[in-house]
A and B are shown apart, each in its own frame.
Chain A
Amino acid sequence: MRLWDRFLHSFISPGLWVPFGSIVLGFLVGAIIMAFGGFNPFVAYAALMQKAFGSPYNIGEMLREMTPLLLTGLSVAFAFRAGLLNIGTAGQMVMGSLGAALVGVLVPLPPIVHAIVALFVGVLFGALWGSLVGYLKAYRGVNEVIAAIMLNWVALYFANYVIRTAILDPQQKQRSLYVASSARINADFLSALFQNARLSYGFLLALLMVYVFWFLLYRTRLGFELRAVGAGAEAAQYAGIRIGRQVIVTMFLSGAFSGLAGAIEVLGVYGYMTISTVHASYGFDGIAVALLGGATALGTLFSAFLFAVLSYGAAGMQFAADVPLEVSRVVMAAILFFVAASALVRSLYTVTLGRMRRGSLESEVNRS
């Protein structure tokens, strides 16, 4: 029971009023914008919910949308806990897709084994791509944000090149061949449950990752070191933790989450990988998800769910109320804005009132 308590506790440290207040305000801002645009926000939001929850099929598809959001969210949150901003989730996801697609198309293996190997290679690709950023930061002094943004594009064009030369579908030209059915991770019982929605074992894997995330951080020595570096790099260094190595390991694991997201897209949703000149929005959305979730496991789970509802439900708003898709992005952006703003408010609060409120436990301001 203690473990469970601690597990729960770890998600809620930042307090709940900030995210929930932000969500309410975010929806309010969206409503105001819609009202100005001549749309009825009540109809629109009802349609959004209808789209996201209206039928088993839609719930299933919404959860399908949630899967990569959750994984990239965990990816960003993980790095964040170690004090790094992983803005390279998009690239790591592409590499994950590529790894999975290559194994899925080119390597003949028996069912199940094939899927596992393809997933594993996808995860590995993403992880290695992430650790490359870590390496550049730790030993070459390259800012991780800049390195990651650059590598996002390198990953994308590299993947396009590999698809074109190694696994291109000669009929379609713009995508790879289908991966072998032995490599697919479709969960027929889940799809059946949700009226043929493209829900795969990937979704279950992603849920499992929420626990893995927590376990890594709070139950392993590695996680302890990682959190130490994130919460106080100098103290961690003084305690004998080698920061450079830690940065690489962190980015490796962070990249693994994104790699898994990419692999699931190929093996569970599409069955192929497209040649694309733009990144899927999941990479950047992951940052938003992690931010709203306070970089905690359950928080990320919840915010991924919310963003999936908004993102998937947006089509419903368009369908029923002719509200442009962008409005749902406005709501997301507004929510994040309020989260960020509240961080500001909270820091002011901590400096003045909060500090004294906790004064029964601690000292006054006057320390050197």
Chain B
Amino acid sequence: MLGDPCINRKTNFKKGVVHLMKRLSKGFVLTAVFSMLIFTLAACGGGGSTGSSTGETFKVGMVTDIGGINDNSFNQSAWEGLQKFNKETGAEVKYLESKSDADYIPNLNQFVQNGYQLIWGIGYMMGDAIKDVATNNPNAHFGIIDAEVDAPNVESVLFAENEGAFLVGVVAGKMTKTGKVGFVGGAEIPVIKRFEAGFVAGMKAVNPNAQVLINYTGSFNKPDEGKAAAASLYDQGADIVFHAAGQTGDGVFSEAKERRKQGQEVWVIGVDRDQRDLGPEVTLTSMLKRVDIAVDTISTQVKDGKFEAGVKVLTLADGGVDLPEDNPYIPDDVLKEVDQYKQKIKSGELKVPSE
């Protein structure tokens, strides 16, 4: 203690504090200002490269919902459509992923500000955001999948999922051995309700005694929950599970594959695109929802100057929903019956309930 170099305490205290404060506060402010500066400079430097639009090429952008671009489902399907559109027409295409609901609006605005002629919002959850951005940017054009947005510059694309689901319902009703089939839904929103309604109707049409077990996980981006939901359905005796749950549905496939390895004869019916790649041995069939075709077709129309605001419903008759062309696991007689129903629906003879 006596080793402490201690001068006059009073002045020392004040000196010490004041000196320290000055030094540190100056240091802090400087550093803060400096780093802000770096940010700003960097921002300015990057300005020109992406901002301007040439006005020559036709540009189409799409914003995914929180499922992301690799959701094995409709975001992916939509992007496939845009890529096809790009190949056919040479137009520029680009996507932006959304991490959370908060990103929808800024992402849409990003395309607006970069002069994209058509901007797609993929998914029901983006309805509010499209409405908002479309209202604020009356000169830009938007397309939205699965939601109905009432604005003069928005084309809303809906699908008759109930019709497609009816067909896979027929397959399930015919092929179930346990008399129980399962349905895994994402969230309880109108789109998914249409899947459920069609599926149940189709199954009851061919197998009135069969039972449908329904499980909504509440999300489209949680494969673990999809797996848990499928496990519970299979445990309850279902041998075929149809999912309409985006990425959540990936879990249904992994559950089925595990059970298949243990010798259980369980099946999955995929959704949106032919999902055979997720589990060739367990995929009974898939209900195609041709978001890709819709995106491609409508983008082409807009490029040709034929933008039509309003709601467009793509039905079985339009080729908006369907089954894949080859279905190795489905016997011919079942396929034949599916075809009969397909004709009835197309001709309007059979009305499939939508809720």
Which residues of A are at the interface with B, using a C-beta cutoff of 8 A? 5-6, 8-9, 11-12, 16, 20, 23, 43, 45-55, 57-58, 61, 64-65, 160, 172-174, 196, 198, 269-270, 274-278, 280-281, 298, 302, 309, 311-312, 314-316, 318-320, 325, 360-363
Contact = CB atoms under 8 A, between A and B. Distances in A.
A54 to B, nearest CB: 6
Interface in B276-312: none
Contact of A174 (B102, B136, B187): B187
B101 A319 contact: no
Q: How large is the interface on B (under 10, 10 to 19, 20 to 34, 35 or more residues)?
A: 35 or more
A257 B233 CA distance: 42
Contacts of B49: 43, 46-47, 50, 320
Contacts of A57: 109, 113
Nearest to A13: B24
Interface of B: 1, 3-5, 17-18, 20-22, 24-25, 27-29, 31-32, 35, 39-40, 42-43, 45-47, 49-51, 94, 96-97, 99-103, 105-107, 109-110, 113-114, 125, 127, 136, 187-190, 217-219, 221-222, 225
A49 B187 CA distance: 36
Contacts of A47: 46, 49-50
A23 B38 CA distance: 12
Given A50-B51, A57-B109, A302-B32, A315 B96 contact: yes
- Interface majority SS (helix, strand, loop, mixed), chain A: helix
Contacts of A275: 187, 218
Specify which of A43, A196, A298 lies most central, judged by the most chain B CB atoms within 10 Å of its CB.
A196
B189 A173 contact: yes
Contacts of B46: 43, 45-50, 54, 320
A198 B189 contact: no
Nearest to A175: B128
Contacts of A55: 113
B5 A51 contact: no
Nearest to B221: A278
Contacts of B110: 51, 315-316, 319
23 contacts: A5-B17, A5-B18, A8-B25, A8-B28, A9-B25, A12-B24, A12-B27, A46-B42, A46-B45, A47-B50, A49-B39, A50-B43, A52-B43, A54-B43, A57-B113, A61-B106, A61-B109, A174-B125, A270-B101, A281-B99, A314-B99, A315-B96, A360-B4
A41 to B, nearest CB: 12
B21 A9 contact: yes
A129 B319 CA distance: 52
Contact of B31 (A16, A43, A53, A65): A16
B336 to A, nearest CB: 38
A54 B47 contact: yes
Nearest to A43: B49
B212 to A, nearest CB: 20
